[in-house]
Chain A
């Protein structure tokens, strides 16, 4: 194309810039003058215009396919690694004004991405990821400083609840601000998640008085699909209802605290279910009972 510069007064680059509105007023005027008397040039322009597509609209669809939960997790992992690196650097360069580094803080080598990827859908990675977020979730709360190194001796259900709680602890109201609020889309989302999970999620679970339903998505716990329904309480506190098939015996609702969040969990028909959020036990209990009632 550039080789044509000598034989043609107007290059393809200039033509495409003209189509894209990137020429200055002067350039545009002289190019339009050149077009007037040059049929061949008009033909090339028409060809370039034939290469026009509804780009933004087409790629909007790809945006809708983004695995939002995984990406949020990837960001959390990056933020965690970065925080660890910053802490390690601080420890190496003593600064009298800075806070002392906690004695039990883990030094993590300042590697970038490859070995600490959050992305592998294997069980081992899932547990590793639990550990990783275990640190991150503690920031700001002063509660969970140590990694959950007891994971190996926990039951699968406990590991699951810890993973969900760690993950939930990273949520803010902004995390859910991009969720679709169109009822048709929400209903379709629930159906998609129901199918992946193998358990019917009635539309009613999205209508919990006092909670603003945001979205349903499928995450992965080991090889098992993990359903996550996200709600917002008083436009401020993220609440999640999560389900995974662990084939544990039925169990009535119990309370516990993980990563500083209250949890109500129960098991039914092979599925383990939990409601988690930064709410007082009583309030969370009420919501959990409401949701449990809708699942029957």
Chain B
């Protein structure tokens, strides 16, 4: 006799480990592929999974196989015109048709790349792999200004609109059963013993008098007030794009901005980005231009700060937006520009900002740059300066930057 078992509710992800192993094994190739995807993607799209590819030849498993060449016979179906002794020219370029069955294995579709889709988590892990991002470092940023209500069980008192009919009736039913049970038992005994009808009637009346719904039964949905941050945030990305900022430095900058964006995105429902690039004068641009358009010219940091201030005034009122700033530069600045910029930042911009980070990507780690020197004079709770030399530094810097605020 057969046994029929319903396994549909069993675990569906038996291969999660095997999949993870595959990704682990081809990490370096996948990282390259992820990097390509990232380069084309805008920061706001970063929190998605993505399709990546690995060259098929990299993932094939070698086996001893018999290859093309030598002598062989093959039997095929569907002859409609051949007679014994017929000759057919061999197709150019090796084997081709007529050698179908032999040693092809793998069942590949003949594509060069093994394409597949990474989940968001897998994608981010690969993307941030060099950043040494720990799993748990998800600190809450900033404090709350708004409140939200969250369901938190039931309570015996409340306003009628929060009444839970189901819960209340459940309670009522339980109470009725509990109160009526002894009376009903007594009633049954009386009826069996043939007692006085009046007594039975009294008892029945008592049972009927148990109220359908009592005040004790009522239950209200309980809601607690929870602090909620302003749900909107804007992130100003400021970058020096003068000639001294190489592609590699911009790449570091992009990673830093991306990471910051992802942090903010976890905290706020809605995050907007403003890209301001500057050489000797500043302009607001879209993301692509921000990272990829080459610009040449001098460096006037002040211009970017002025533009940022104007944009804040125009579009992002500080009482409605959480304003974050992140500035990346190689630290070059000339003349009085660094001092004036530091003052501008301290007096006009920082007061409106939840947080402002200055990240320097200098040519060598030990040098002190003019802008860095000027900025380090600013002492403010919500301002931080850090240096990033390589990809590995990006995350620790970000972590350091935000630690104080999280505390």
Chain A partners chain B: no
Chain B residues within 8 Å of A, Cβ to Cβ: none
Chain A residues within 8 Å of B, Cβ to Cβ: none
